[in-house]
Structure 1
């Protein structure tokens, strides 16, 4: 059954953007391969605890897979090389490096990380610019400009063809591209050549291969990239809208045809629990999720097409299926849009600081306080090291020193207790965590003490008391402990990203800007005063000061009186309030001398003119 008229009319896809999704091939194994190129030709597995969390393609070619026990993997492939992946710093550093590399090729800085090994790029602006430079009569000899300012930076490409794979393959299908879709086709092809260029640069310059998808949204770009792995790319081709009229048969959009082949649980944004509820409703029973022969396969698969064409399906029915206590408002409409390929979410730029820093580890079962203390010390050490890595920067005003980018205000301790044993001695699986939080103590921001001293203090004074609030008494057994710092408050900075202005930097900057306007008292010989300054005011004389001339201002002030002298502001002068407010405060203009100044200073300035008139 096709979608209802109401639902159909509410779905509007914006195809103005070009989004590229990068998925680094076997990222965690690749980090070790880049460090030691000899590992590229051998089966390699990355171990955490007793599990192979990931492996390279050579290992997969020999029948190994992710999430196998080390013992099982060794039996299947005795010559497998195993490296320990417990320490995440090397992966985090590699991910940041690759992010910065891709970001350097963008103009709008819309680059978003998804975990360690995925990145979205919004390249709409650079694609539009290069589209405007195309010669429509010679598309096969185009040049891609990577810089607006230097026309020599870039590469040659054939704009009449798509780089990499297409879905569907236009050469093997009878799909006709309507005139209205020609412009989208050109933009997608330009984007595909940029994606190919970046993909090759990642491999040549950094040693990492990637799989790439190109489309007009994050949803479609991510799914398109999954079609050809590894070391390949796929562009989702037009038409993106279904067409139907009396003269020709209905032509289904490639978006709908593409999504219909996916299981509902494979759609980004529709999580495990949501897809499970949808399957239950479509099949009219509780589904059997796992195939007995392969734990990675969903036995009772329900496709997007099954959901989309289900009688009465639409936002309202999905609200009934997915709604309930704690459900997101409008969840039905959101899920319906995703099922129909609508995703208007923006590619987000990387935040100056993370929203939180979280460290955790899992265990077979911890049931004594000494074990807890030991693990808390290990986790707290990693946490503080992460805080120093992610939240500290070099202090430009104090070479050799560092300053905090942000101060997390809260520390949270979470655990996952094991459920009690069943009568047969087994335990049910549980994913439920319990947490307690408190203000993060200020001593954690001290940079004079060593990490070990900070760890011991944090464990004894903060984490152990939190643990006792979570688990009072005995009888508990834990298989996970997590420490997290959150509620980041950015420190004052010179940019609008900070929560305030750095006052010390402001005054240092003010000293530089106002240097030429500074008035200094200088000892001068009496003869110089007598020679250069004769008074003719009936015996009245005034202390005179020399100031640098400025446009619209008399350099010599009349009626100056010692340390409270005031130099009238001019249009060229910069006052400290303007520096502080970054020219956002209200200003006023003196009707007598035309000086511009903050509104709050106007009254005092007018009083100055009154005293000036009295002195004359």
Structure 2
């Protein structure tokens, strides 16, 4: 049964979660294939942040000290992973590769090495094509309009691993119709995932571990069961009838989630899991010791929480609620521990929602050291902005050859101070960050100024004042982490019309081209008329008559203004229809009040 309180029903989407195997090590292996056969570790600071499977086979693991790793495996090859550009570029390339397999474009990247794909529409389409009399010789169509683009598959079996590992025949005969339909959809999803996974390895050289289910939560967790180079589908039943629930039966979702520690459930953060653990244990849970920390010595499972007396959305709201907490957090967490996750796979985005750079420190407690680190982080942030937010500019008048596809409006500085020493020479561990935000200055977007000059100006004028507001005292603090990020992205316009913003400069350039045909000039010879079936034809012997026709206007010729719409789409309707309009005294064009000053400058530049 799902618990003491009813939860929402499971949906019928098909979500596939891709986790690239040893991604950071694989990037180096793809650059140098000879590294695939040796134990390889990626170093940041004095720690191994990840390693390949050959290194793991010899006893190495994540978050080991370099000195310790060399003792365990003396012949380990260590490469530096401080510069993230190569990982970011590889992640983008793989993301674009996976996006090409979707119809809806619902592909969401989680970090560098994980991707969610919503393949519901492809599965729906192919489910309708199945021949129930010959399922073992089915064909999965990859393109809606091309019945030859796809691959054959056996629709009577799951591709890859299944959980629980039971016979599909017994599952089908014992489930209701809805669960039979879900099983068919999961079978289709598993074969689609296997096809993409094999293509990823063959064409890009990266192996992956995959999970298939009906939401992001379960697909991510079930994929962890068979690493590396494996895929796992969670079988039905996902829901139970009231009779089965009363009889003490459990759905496969509940049975699967119950064995997980509460801190391993995506969507339940470290702080929330600690509060839940402390409530279930009736005391604070012990932390692990060591340089890298964060987990606990005592496991509190999802089952421990779900079956705790009185547990439900209301009690979780009391445990997790309070100032600053998300509204309805109790109900959200209750759904998660029951396998309910309504969050959508986000549409593929050209522009990231935010860009941030951070680093951690053993000790950072002097202003000169802070200035040094702020410059390093700011340099990385600006380089990252140039990589992620600049594209080639097709405008022939462009001198730089690049244009911004988005302008972040806000800069955020975050630090994590270490608490002071206690009287017994111990330090209370804290994971709390403090932050400060400010408008991002426009000089950051200059493409003519040297990067080093921009960084110095950014640090001195923006970051240092923000830091002093976070830490007013000149000394006495010790930081374990510093983060700089930019957010509140506003997309700029593009020539293909696919972005959401406007390019005012280009709008006025095109305005000049469109309006020049109708502009009245102080000349003895009247200007040319636009070619039109209804336009007055020029006749050299009737010059004054033609000019009079232009000046008085014609019911057959619509004079363009900023509020009219032409075939080229030069002007866009304003989002706020109530915004005040102004009329240009010189040309009579109608426009929002805020644009009048720029429009008048446009006229002054003509002369």
Which bin holds the TM-score, normalised by the shorter protein? Answer: 0.7 to 0.9
Q: Secondary structure at the match of 1:23?
A: strand
Q: Structure 1 residue 19: deviation in Å?
A: 0.5
Q: Decide whether the 8 Å contact of 1:106 with 1:123 is kept in 2.
A: yes
Does 1:63 pair with 2:54? Answer: no
Q: Structure 1 residue 545: deviation in Å?
A: 7.1
Q: Which residue in 2 is equivalent to 1:606?
A: none
Q: Structure 1 residue 205: deviation in Å?
A: 0.8
Q: Which residue in 2 is equivalent to 1:84?
A: 80
The CA distance in 2 between the partners of 1:403 and 1:197, in whole Å, is 38
Q: Which has the larger radius of gyration?
A: 1
Q: Which residue in 2 is equivalent to 1:536?
A: none
Does 1:473 pair with 2:469? Answer: no
The CA distance in 1 between the partners of 2:244 and 2:104, in whole Å, is 44
The CA distance in 2 between the partners of 1:545 and 1:172, in whole Å, is 78
Q: How do 1:428-443 and structure 2 match up within 5 A?
A: 428-443=428-443
Q: Structure 1 residue 561: deviation in Å?
A: 1.8
Q: Secondary structure at the match of 2:240?
A: coil
Q: Which residue in 1 is equivalent to 2:42?
A: 46
In structure 2, which of residues 96, 119, 130 is the aligned counterpart of residue 100 of structure 1? 96
Q: Decide whether the 8 Å contact of 1:243 with 1:251 is kept in 2.
A: no
Q: Secondary structure at the match of 1:159?
A: coil
Q: Decide whether the 8 Å contact of 2:263 with 2:269 is kept in 1.
A: yes
Q: Which residue in 1 is equivalent to 2:595?
A: none
Q: Which residue in 2 is equivalent to 1:301?
A: 299
Q: Which residue in 2 is equivalent to 1:109?
A: 105
Does 1:12 pair with 2:13? Answer: no
The CA distance in 2 between the partners of 1:418 and 1:235, in whole Å, is 43
Q: Structure 1 residue 121: deviation in Å?
A: 0.2
The CA distance in 1 between the partners of 2:499 and 2:245, in whole Å, is 60
Q: Aligned pair in 2 of structure 1 residues 326, 173: CA closer, same or farther (>3 Å)?
A: farther
Q: Structure 1 residue 305: deviation in Å?
A: 2.1
Q: Decide whether the 8 Å contact of 2:507 with 2:571 is kept in 1.
A: no
The CA distance in 2 between the partners of 1:211 and 1:82, in whole Å, is 24
Q: Secondary structure at the match of 1:54?
A: strand
Q: Structure 1 residue 417: deviation in Å?
A: 3.4
In structure 2, which of residues 539, 551, 557 is the aligned counterpart of residue 564 of structure 1? 551
The CA distance in 1 between the partners of 2:255 and 2:206, in whole Å, is 32
Q: Which residue in 2 is equivalent to 1:611?
A: none
The CA distance in 2 between the partners of 1:138 and 1:512, in whole Å, is 63
Q: Aligned pair in 2 of structure 1 residues 190, 569: CA closer, same or farther (>3 Å)?
A: farther
The CA distance in 1 between the partners of 2:99 and 2:524, in whole Å, is 60
Q: Aligned pair in 2 of structure 1 residues 416, 178: CA closer, same or farther (>3 Å)?
A: closer
| Root mean square deviation, CA, Å | 3.6
- TM-score calculated relative to the size of structure 2: 0.83
Structure 1 unaligned runs (5+)?
526-542, 588-598, 602-616
Q: Aligned pair in 2 of structure 1 residues 150, 509: CA closer, same or farther (>3 Å)?
A: farther
The CA distance in 1 between the partners of 2:157 and 2:357, in whole Å, is 47
Structure 2 unaligned runs (5+)?
539-544, 578-588, 592-607
Q: Secondary structure at the match of 1:488?
A: strand
Q: Decide whether the 8 Å contact of 2:518 with 2:529 is kept in 1.
A: no
Q: Aligned pair in 2 of structure 1 residues 213, 514: CA closer, same or farther (>3 Å)?
A: farther
Q: Decide whether the 8 Å contact of 1:244 with 1:251 is kept in 2.
A: no
- TM-score calculated relative to the size of structure 1: 0.82
The CA distance in 2 between the partners of 1:334 and 1:142, in whole Å, is 40
The CA distance in 2 between the partners of 1:570 and 1:124, in whole Å, is 50
The CA distance in 2 between the partners of 1:309 and 1:429, in whole Å, is 30
Q: How do 1:494-533 and structure 2 match up within 5 A?
A: 500-506=501-507
In structure 2, which of residues 353, 371, 374 is the aligned counterpart of residue 373 of structure 1? 371
Q: Structure 1 residue 585: deviation in Å?
A: 9.9
Q: Aligned pair in 2 of structure 1 residues 413, 344: CA closer, same or farther (>3 Å)?
A: closer
Q: Secondary structure at the match of 1:128?
A: helix
